Chains A and B, each alone.
Chain A
Amino acid sequence: MSTESIAWPSTAAGSRSFVETLHEWVTTVDHKRLGILYIIYALVFLVIGGIEATVIRIQLIRPHNDFVSPQVFNRLFTMHGTTMIFFVVMPVLFGFANYLIPLMIGARDMAFPRLNAFSFWMTAFGGLFLYFSVVGANGLYGAGNAPDVGWFAYAPLTSQTFSLGHSTDFWTLALLVSGFGSIGTAINIVATVLCMRCPGMTLAKMPLFAWLNLVMAGLVILAVSPLTAAQIMLLVDRYLGGHFFDTQAGGSAVIWMHFFWIFGHPEVYVLVLPAFAFASEIIPVFSRKPIFGYPVMVGATVAIGFISMSVWAHHMFTVGMGAAANTFFVISTMAIAVPTGIKIFNWLATMWGGKIEFKTPMLFCIAFLFQFLIAGLTGVMLGAAPFDWQLGNSYFVVAHFHYVIVGGIMFTLFGAFYYWFPKMSGKMYSETLGKLHFWLFVIGFHLTFDFMHIPGILGMPRRIYTYEPGRGWDTWNLIVTIGVFFQAAGILVFLGNLIWSYFRGELADNDPWDAWTLEWSAHSPPPAYNFALIPTVKSRRPLWDLKHPDDPDWKYE
């Protein structure tokens, strides 16, 4: 099934000039190259966002610190949140989806290769545009100032009165631009999954990765569009003197919150569904067992997709929406724990009785299971309105959602990096460095985010610039900041591993993990056309069928 190609340019890359290579990458419409571009782009922004987080934590390491000024601090947490959500996690997930979906469903490219390139460049220019604000926010003549209104930019902070200059406009326009890119990619993913599957791959035989990304793309379409609409309204207010969020003229600040969180909460599931997708691919392979309860996994995914559209106002319990609305959003928030819990049990049941191999990707996925469970539990706690009244907008909330995004999403993401690195680069990563990365990151993660809950319970509000000594927060903040340095060290080891292995790693086999989905039948790295012969599949594990002709899956599915 795998072929080697002389014409595939990357094999001859060494002899090409830099400009030629650059031209190739800039004009490419190949889903694999665009996927890698997404991933590298996201890694660059991961470092930037990580540095911002580190500076925030250094500022909070002790009371009355003045490592940065309050103005810079506001810009830092705004840029950190915006960068990590829109320019790190979303692009990296789109990158993996781009790279892997066509390979997994036996297609040669995405449904719309040029739209794919366009969407990537929109996202990329959106991120660069946001960071252009650091040097040029008052027009080309003034000193720059980055957005400082927080990543959810509540009105009336964003009105002309309170946000002079163009800093908020940079935030709005950058998200608008990257939002177009996201919607384009989402449409592309939906069309690819539905229309490009190889013969025999019915919806019930798709890898779970494709299913989860299909639901993710549907959520992007339904969730990012309201954000786009809200951003247009904000632009109307700021540029044309409209009154959407202008309370002086009868407008409402609360409706901005509604519009933002109608995007904001499904967005969490946009980010976490691909993480589930990674776990659903990695855990079975390293447990040497098929995924437990495939139909239920698909059903739970679709259920999460639907329920996640009706939970947004649990971010707004402290606004005072009234008892009826509060009750509705409490119940829907609790309800979403059910399909998520089903998934966790299915992963556990997949591992149960399996021959588990503790390779780096699997380690990250196991840590993910524990951490995501805790994140879900604090989520249920915060989903109860009375509890939220007590701890809303405290560091407990910050700890909760970092537990979801770092402990849940980032961990599976690292697992995915190690798992598919041999396929993408053709080289094996260093298992030693991978394990080092894992342990550094696990220690750092728990130091930072376990202990971050405590100052939250003790009343430390989020986004606080500095604090008085003697409130019981000092020690916890010190520990939290120490954890950050472990995480930073872990990230450095990770990046070092990627770079070193790419140049010096040993050559990888087509199928180093003895896995079962179609991408492992292609050459490592796959040629431009992926498959010389379009494969035909008969079960959910086509490579199992090929490897075990005497005991194939399709007899039993």
Chain B
Amino acid sequence: METNMSIDTLARPDTRTETIEMPAPTAWPIILAFGLTLVFAGMVTSLSVSLLGAILAVTGCIGWFREVLPHEKHETISAIETIRPVSTRRPRVAAVKWMTEELHRARLPLEVYPVRAGVKGGMAGSVAMALLAVTYGIISGRGMWYAINVLAAGFFPGRHPLSQIGEFQWDSLLIASVVHLLVSLSVGLLYGAMLPMLPRRPVLLGGLIAPILWSGLVHSFIGLIDPILNQQIDWLWFVFSQVGFGIVAGIVVSRQQRIPTPQHLPLAVRAGFEVLARFDQKNGGEPR
């Protein structure tokens, strides 16, 4: 341990000495503080208290000045070095061995999907879900525009909800498409980010369990956000189309090529300002 210390402590000659200079104790700060407090205390008692405080404060100031000017006063403390080694009860470091020995201290997850994988998955899922929803409209006999009009109904509070629910309306189609694509895109991105962290059965988790969970979530709050949708919704088919989205998006995302996680790279490299000269992809070694 002695050798360790010499590496880890700065071997400057002035710190090697047996004595150490520390600032000398002084009473002037407390006298100045007491004086100033008395100056203020005089405002609620009597002027004489303030006067006494002022005298003390001035004395404290002068004393303090003489303490530090022209040279700061020091006292010398003798230090007898008995360097006690820094030791630990747990010298062994538990290495992360469930993958490979070499991956000790790796940044997890080792690989992630690129952003475009999430975009692709979201888009593919959105197509699958739209097809299922339109199919439902046709099978149930409510018309193929039914699902689209219901989705957009919250944006048209003045329109009578059930009058033209099965007919084509261009503004409903526009709004429903924007809502559908935006939500699909964000869920797809979330899939891209989360699937590497759920390594076991990604399609089961992402395709089945996650859609059922968020269907439950939607079931609990949709009445507040979009009451019309809430009245009209057929929950079985809703879950069906969500699961359709989940499975398609999950499969599309998991078929994309993974890239090594860039979390440990310097910001300049990640932002594309600098290019790495050498970068060991396998275990993400030191980029420098």
Contacts and interface: CB of A to CB of B under 8 A. Distances in A.
Most buried by B among A8, A534, A538: A534
Nearest to A166: B44
Interface stretch (B31-39, B111-119, B210-218, B239-247): B31-39
Nearest to B96: A353
Contacts of B34: 121, 125
Interface string B73-109: 0000111111110111111010000000000110000
Q: How large is the interface on A (under 10, 10 to 19, 20 to 34, 35 or more residues)?
A: 35 or more
A339 interface: no
Contacts of A180: 36
B37 A4 contact: no
Residue from A1, A199, A235 whose CB has the most chain B CB atoms within 10 Å: A1
Nearest to B64: A114
B37 A140 contact: no
A535 B83 CA distance: 12
B25 A122 contact: no
Given A122-B33, A180-B36, A536-B8, A8 B22 contact: no
B80 A546 contact: no
Interface stretch (B10-18, B159-167, B271-279): B10-18
B15 A129 contact: no
B23 A533 contact: no
A177 B10 contact: no
Contacts of B78: 5-7
A439 interface: no
B4 interface: yes
A548 B91 contact: yes
Contacts of B46: 139-140
Contacts of B68: 114
A8 B36 CA distance: 32
Interface string B156-186: 0000000000000000000000000000000
Contact of B4 (A3, A26, A170, A549): A549
Contacts of B88: 511, 514, 547-548
Interface in A106-127: 108-109, 113-115, 117-118, 121-122, 124-126
Contact of A132 (B1, B41, B77): B41
A199 B41 contact: no
A117 B28 CA distance: 9
A510 B16 contact: no
B20 to A, nearest CB: 4
A301 B34 CA distance: 36
A503 interface: no
Given A139-B44, A532-B81, A543-B86, A548 B93 contact: yes
Interface string A457-494: 00000000000000000000000000000000000000
Interface in A196-220: 198-199
A125 B33 contact: yes
Contacts of B105: 556
B58 to A, nearest CB: 15
B25 A173 contact: no
Interface in B10-69: 10, 12, 15-16, 20, 22-30, 32-34, 36-37, 40-41, 43-46, 64, 67-68
B77 A528 contact: yes
Given A26-B30, A125-B37, A542 B84 contact: no
Given A3-B80, A114-B28, A117-B30, A532 B20 contact: yes
B33 A121 contact: yes
Given A177-B37, A532-B79, A551 B4 contact: no
Interface in A537-557: 537-538, 542-543, 545-551, 555-556
Interface residues of B, number: 51
A136 B63 CA distance: 31
A122 B26 CA distance: 15
B8 A546 contact: yes
A3 B85 CA distance: 10
B5 interface: yes
A70 B77 CA distance: 57
Contact of A29 (B26, B45, B77, B80): B26
B44 A170 contact: yes
B231 interface: no
Nearest to B11: A533
A375 interface: no
Contacts of B286: 555
Nearest to A510: B84
Nearest to B92: A548
Contact of B45 (A118, A136, A514): A136
Contacts of A511: 86-88
B9 A1 contact: yes
B10 A199 contact: yes
A140 B1 CA distance: 65
Interface in A483-538: 510-511, 514, 521, 523, 527-529, 532-538
Contacts of B33: 118, 121-122, 124-125, 181
A27 interface: yes
Given A235-B43, A521-B86, 20 more contacts: A2-B83, A3-B82, A5-B79, A5-B80, A6-B78, A27-B30, A29-B25, A109-B22, A115-B29, A121-B33, A122-B36, A136-B44, A139-B44, A140-B46, A170-B44, A533-B10, A534-B10, A542-B8, A543-B86, A555-B286
A-B pairs with lowest CB-CB distance, top 9:
A121-B33, A118-B29, A125-B37, A547-B88, A117-B29, A27-B25, A166-B44, A529-B20, A533-B9
25 contacts: A2-B83, A2-B84, A5-B79, A5-B80, A7-B79, A27-B25, A121-B30, A122-B36, A137-B44, A166-B44, A199-B10, A527-B77, A529-B22, A532-B79, A532-B83, A533-B10, A533-B15, A533-B16, A534-B12, A535-B10, A536-B8, A536-B10, A537-B8, A548-B91, A550-B93
